[in-house]
Structure 1
Amino acid sequence: MTSVADAVKTMQEKFDPSAAAGLDLVFGFRIDDTKNFSLIVKDSKCELKEGENPDAQVTLVMDGETLQGIVSGETDGMQAFMGGKLRAEGDMMLAMKLSELFPS
């Protein structure tokens, strides 16, 4: 993967609609403090939107390298969080749901 856009595209490809049945969630992402996007998970569908989403229940803040590592499976999200490379703003328990929705 060469960019944040590639990492986001890969996330969409890994999306598991069965894990999203009945959900209505908005995940925000702030990458390198310059790129914002959100994943809207609703009724077994995942929609990607660019820009900051004020409805995000949790926003994950990290650099592009960390995002690429998590998406590729080279970096464990929990280890990135514990190591200070990933920060969650909002409902941290929802961040844990991402591994179910986007399995490696």
Structure 2
Amino acid sequence: MNHIKESFEKAKGRFDREAANGFSAIFQLLISDGGDYYQVISNGECKYFPGLHDSADVTLILNQATLLSVLNGELDGAQAFAFGQVKVDGDLRLAKKMLELFPHCSN
């Protein structure tokens, strides 16, 4: 299993199902040096898939090192955005919602 998939699995353990109650969205992740993935959040569930989604609600553009640091709880997503390590195409409010759905944890 590659590092990205391992980190997605780890992130699922931090997923806040309560924060996702009544919420649904599709997040596209364009990883410049690691491929494309999308995340579907619906009915309190979170699933990751490889590839591109036809109708993602928001797209996050970043490199693999930034993604892994955020997913592993080593880098705060808001800070990564503020420092230009993550670019958002689409609804910025949805991108911010990810902070609620995946609370930052320290390792």
Q: 1:7 to 1:47 in 2, by over 3 A?
A: same
Comparing 2-11 with 79-88, greater Cα deviation is found at: 2-11
Residue 14 (structure 1) aligns with? 14
Percent identity, please: 32
User: Structure 2 CA distance, aligned partners of 1:63 and 1:23?
Assistant: 27
Q: Is the 8 A contact 2:34 2:63 kept in 1?
A: no
The aligned residue for residue 71 of structure 1 is 71
CA distances 1:73-99 after superposition (whole Å, capped 9, x unpaired): 221212211211110111111000001
TM-score normalised over the length of structure 1: 0.89
2: CA distance, partners of 1:17 / 1:31: 25
Contact 2:4/2:68 (CA < 8 Å) preserved in 1?
Answer: yes
Structure 1 stretches of 4+ with a deviation exceeding 6 A read none
Name the counterpart of 1:88.
88
The structure richer in helix per residue is 1
1:1-104 aligned at under 5 Å gives the runs 3-32=3-32, 34-104=34-104
Cα deviation for residue 64 of structure 1 reads 0.8
**Partner SS for 1:54:** coil
Quick one: which amino acid aligns to residue 76 of structure 1? D
Matched letter for residue 30 of structure 1: L
1:33 CA drift (Å) = 5.2
Structure 2 gap ranges (5+): none
Aligned-pair Cα RMSD in Å: 1.5
The answer (yes or no) to whether the contact 1:3–1:64 under 8 Å persists in 2 is no
When normalised by structure 2's length, the TM-score is 0.87
